[in-house]
Amino acid sequence: MVALTLSETDKRRIESAVAEIEAHSSAEILVVTAHSASDYADAVALGAAAAALLGGALAAVLWPIPALTIVAGQMAVFAVAWIALTFGRAGHWLVPQAVHMLRAKRAAALEFARLVNAQTADKRGLLIYLSFAERHIEILADSGIARIVPDARWQDIIDSFPTALRERSLGDALVETVQRCGGILTSSFPPQAGQRNEMTDRIVER
């Protein structure tokens, strides 16, 4: 599977789309992208431990060698497997898709709590979080938006993202996602006199 990346041109397009929406709405959008929602260190450790245990078991069965030698061999196998899985990013492939989704949701929730929740005066911030490795997008709204816009409307956009990604480039798919979110925000939260830009228009990259 080809890794997802955004070009500098794509980033500027997305940031321009955010700025245009915020010029016509009292709500604000923050876009956060991450190379991966998790380092999957637990999966790496489990995979290395399994390799070490299997290697030790095979050595004990096939070769009459001292127990300390087997233990030393297991430690070496664990170290080699851990390094290979970590730097080869194989830990990502050791977990099922459901775990990828859960990690992406958790990462999005942390970013929302850190960067969006109660960061605007009217609590009208919206987070669009995209994890490249998991190819998963999350949209989380602050309470001022959630009182007006039901979660189902954001979920419709989330559910359509995989199809958009198959049919178009990542840049086009993400711009479309931002614009669809913007359509909801501009219709539900018209601009107010004296409003300030309380969150950055630039993409936050992790």
d(CA 89, CA 40): 9
For the question of whether the overall pTM of this predicted structure is more than 0.75, the answer is: yes
Per-residue pLDDT of the chain (206 residues; tens, 9 = 90+): 456 889 999 999 999 999 999 999 999 999 999 988 776 665 555 555 666 567 667 766 677 777 667 666 667 666 666 566 566 555 566 666 777 788 899 999 999 999 999 999 999 999 999 999 888 999 999 999 999 999 999 999 999 999 999 999 999 999 999 999 999 999 999 999 888 899 999 999 99
Torsion angles phi and psi, residue 29, rounded to 5: -115, 135
C-alpha 42: how far from its chain's center? Answer: 18
Cβ atoms of 81 and 48 closer than 8 Å = yes
Structural domains in the chain plus CATH codes: 8-37+96-205 (3.10.310.50), 41-94 (no CATH)
Question: What DSSP string runs through 68-129?
Answer: HHHHHHHHHHHHHHHHHHHHTTGGGGGS-HHHHHHHHHHHHHHHHHHHTTT-STT--EEEEE
What number of CA atoms fall less than 13 Å from residue 4's CA on the CB side? 23
Strand partners, 30: 127
Q: What is the DSSP letter of 133?
A: T
